[in-house]
Amino acid sequence: MKQSVKNAVCYTIAPKDLAGHLFEVSVTIDAPAPQGQIFSLPAWIPGSYMIREFSRNIVQIRAAAAGKKVALKKLDKHTWQAAPCAGPLRLQYEVYAWDLSVRAAHLDQTHGFFNGTSVFLQAHGHEAEQHVVDIQPPAGLKWGVATTLPELKAKRYGFGTYMAADYDELIDHPVEMGTFELGSFKAHGVQHDVVFTGRVPNLDMARITADLQKICETQIALFEPKTKRAPMQRYVFMSMVTADGYGGLEHRASTALMCAREDLPVKGKPTDGDGYRNFLGLCSHEYFHTWNVKRIKPAVFAPYDLRQETHTPLLWVFEGFTSYYDDLMLVRSGVIDQAGYFKAIAKTVNMVLRGAGRHKQSIAESSFDAWTKYYRQDENSPNAIVSYYTKGSLVALALDLTIRAETRGKKSLDDVMRALWQRYGRDFYTPKGGRGVTEAELEALIDQVSGLKLKSRLERWVRGTADLPLVELLAPFSIELAEPVKNAKPGLGVRTAREGNDCKLATVYEGHAAHKAGLSGGDLLVALDGLRVTAANLDKLLERYRIGDTLTLHAFRRDELMSFSVKLLSDDVPKWDMKAAADKSVAAERGRKAWLA
């Protein structure tokens, strides 16, 4: 590649073998370190807090300078050192890309997708230089390119040369290539693209862009009510559509999403069910991260250390608050109504109340241990951990309602978010630069902005394990979070999973009937009082019994048949419901309007 930018680390990436899922990548630097240039690949990707060791997908790697081979020594699992040589030094390698997720890279005949963390080696000592990447097309195919990497010598949506100010920026703009479906809209003057890869007949793109525009404009106005200035120059929602995909990963000017085909609206048909709402909620969540975690960051993420775990007790703010605002932005932008919003909160309440883990782990601990616990869940997780997403969003709700009630509507969590934005986020990627926020600074800021003393409550909600006083906090807004109706249904206290036609215990909830009888996660249920149990009929079989009845369950553990005597208890699945109270005062009405409208 011709070098047109000074002091640049230059890459090429080409989809080389679609059937073999191989990208061919090269990196060239003019002035390698005299003692031997070091290169490494990140062990994790920001936003997904688990060690993934992307270097395991590098298939073969070689180095050359002035047409001669240069020896490469491997220093650890993701680090190489080239022998001392004069520049330019060029490394060439292949990356196996067959991870259909938003976190890594994927390539076949239908499309290509990559995050820089999966494909671009970091040239140590050169991180702050310009990074240039030539994205090359596959032979014989007419594909387009979707990315928010700034174009250097490329047309928008075309192959060619893109650039980034430094390595950190290079790996924060994922790239999608293929024959995607493209929609566009402007939100407060800023270009937003929506890109779908995967077959979606009769996709109602007009509906999607109209709804996303409302959500994006609501969020921009939340952070910058006066100027309505978006934090990025353009934004892309890039979405891979599969039969049952769900997930997203945030970036500074884009998001990579996986979504289910049936969740997307069809031209000329009304949407029913929660699928499309969930899709919009996912988009809203990732978009909110543009401010909250991509620019307002925990201090330990500024800068990221991509070689190892980076622990923070604050994911309850960066994921929990984001989860609170994702649905709140849907109701404020009018994409869902208040009843729909209350339903979403009740669902979160019921999810949090389901597991005994909430009494054993606080959300600060859950944040800190995300790497080894939340991201590596097993059959026992509901009994052992709490989610900093779900409980974190309820803490945000509790905090917002408390500030609104105790300041008589003068302040809210919105003011806290704006103060965080002004103090830590707004300048983060500008030449002025910014830094991350610490736990102590965050808590001081909440008190300062609200004028309240919330320390002891935060201590209980964030570092304690008691349930949150949501019923009391919602009452001044004339919203009822109703006691669960006493449930007369008997249950085993398990979560099941289908395994072929069989019924497998995915989780055995602590203290419930199956746990008391000795059953375990992983057991394959075979018979209930001598009748065959399948994945489809367990609930039907249980309907013939009452709470207090004792029955015999046969199950396979490994390949050994075991028999259990189970005394049925109430199924105790939380079924809290949230709705507007019938009698509403003028003050409550006003408070609710300020919060939700």
> Measured from the CB of residue 187, what is the shortest distance to Zn ion in angstroms?
20
CB contact set of 47 (below 8 Å; sequence gap of 6+): 249, 250, 251, 289, 293
> Measured from the CB of residue 345, what is the shortest distance to Zn ion in angstroms?
18
For 400: left if phi > 0, alpha if psi spans -120 to 50, otherwise beta; the answer is: alpha
Range 385-444, binding Zn ion (CB under 5 A): none
Q: Which is nearer to Zn ion, 248 or 265 (CB)?
A: 248
**β partners of residue 491:** 569
- Indicate the SS3 state at residue 576: coil
CB contact set of 25 (below 8 Å; sequence gap of 6+): 11, 12, 13, 14, 92, 93, 94, 95, 119, 120, 121
**Encoded tokens for 182:** 């493209």
**Encoded tokens for 31:** 């002035």
Q: Which is nearer to Zn ion, 251 or 504 (CB)?
A: 251
> Measured from the CB of residue 366, what is the shortest distance to Zn ion in angstroms?
14
- CA distances, 117 to each of 46, 120, 345 (Å): 9, 6, 35
Amino acid present at 87: G
Q: Which is nearer to Zn ion, 94 or 327 (CB)?
A: 327
Q: The tokens 């608050």 sit on which residue?
A: 321
- Indicate the SS3 state at residue 589: helix
Task: Point out the residue whose Cβ comes nearest to Zn ion.
Answer: 319
> Measured from the CB of residue 319, what is the shortest distance to Zn ion in angstroms?
5
| Cα–Cα distance for residue pair 504/500, rounded to 1 Å | 10
Q: Which is nearer to Zn ion, 278 or 383 (CB)?
A: 278
> CA angle, corner 94, sides to 88 and 96, nearest 5?
150
- Indicate the SS3 state at residue 210: helix
> Measured from the CB of residue 1, what is the shortest distance to Zn ion in angstroms?
36
Q: Which is nearer to Zn ion, 257 or 528 (CB)?
A: 257
Q: Which is nearer to Zn ion, 176 or 319 (CB)?
A: 319
Q: Which is nearer to Zn ion, 36 or 248 (CB)?
A: 248
Distance of CA 332 to the CA centre of its chain: 22
> Measured from the CB of residue 502, what is the shortest distance to Zn ion in angstroms?
34
> Measured from the CB of residue 289, what is the shortest distance to Zn ion in angstroms?
6
Q: Which is nearer to Zn ion, 200 or 256 (CB)?
A: 256
Residue 319: how many CA atoms within 13 Å on its side-chain side?
A: 24
Amino acid present at 95: V
> Measured from the CB of residue 248, what is the shortest distance to Zn ion in angstroms?
7
Residue 80: how many CA atoms within 13 Å on its side-chain side?
A: 20
Q: Which is nearer to Zn ion, 129 or 250 (CB)?
A: 250
Residue 117: how many CA atoms within 13 Å on its side-chain side?
A: 23
Maximum Cα interatomic distance, the chain, rounded to a whole number of Å: 83
> Measured from the CB of residue 388, what is the shortest distance to Zn ion in angstroms?
10
# residues near Zn ion by CB under 5 A: 1
> Measured from the CB of residue 249, what is the shortest distance to Zn ion in angstroms?
8
Question: x/- site string to Zn ion, residues 313 to 342, per CB under 5 A?
Answer: ------x-----------------------
Range 199-258, binding Zn ion (CB under 5 A): none
Tell me which residue of 519, 511, 516, 522 sits closest to 554, measured CA to CA: 519
Q: Which is nearer to Zn ion, 247 or 275 (CB)?
A: 247
> Measured from the CB of residue 285, what is the shortest distance to Zn ion in angstroms?
6
| Cα–Cα distance for residue pair 458/473, rounded to 1 Å | 14
**Encoded tokens for 424:** 């830590």
CB contact set of 129 (below 8 Å; sequence gap of 6+): 7, 8, 9, 166
> Measured from the CB of residue 172, what is the shortest distance to Zn ion in angstroms?
15
Q: Which is nearer to Zn ion, 371 or 545 (CB)?
A: 371
Q: For residues 475-498, b (16+ Cβ closer than 10 Å) or e, as one string?
A: bbbbbbbeeeeeeeebbbbbbbee
Q: Which is nearer to Zn ion, 316 or 477 (CB)?
A: 316
Question: x/- site string to Zn ion, residues 277 to 316, per CB under 5 A?
Answer: ----------------------------------------
* Residues that bind Zn ion in the complex, under the rule CB under 5 A: 319
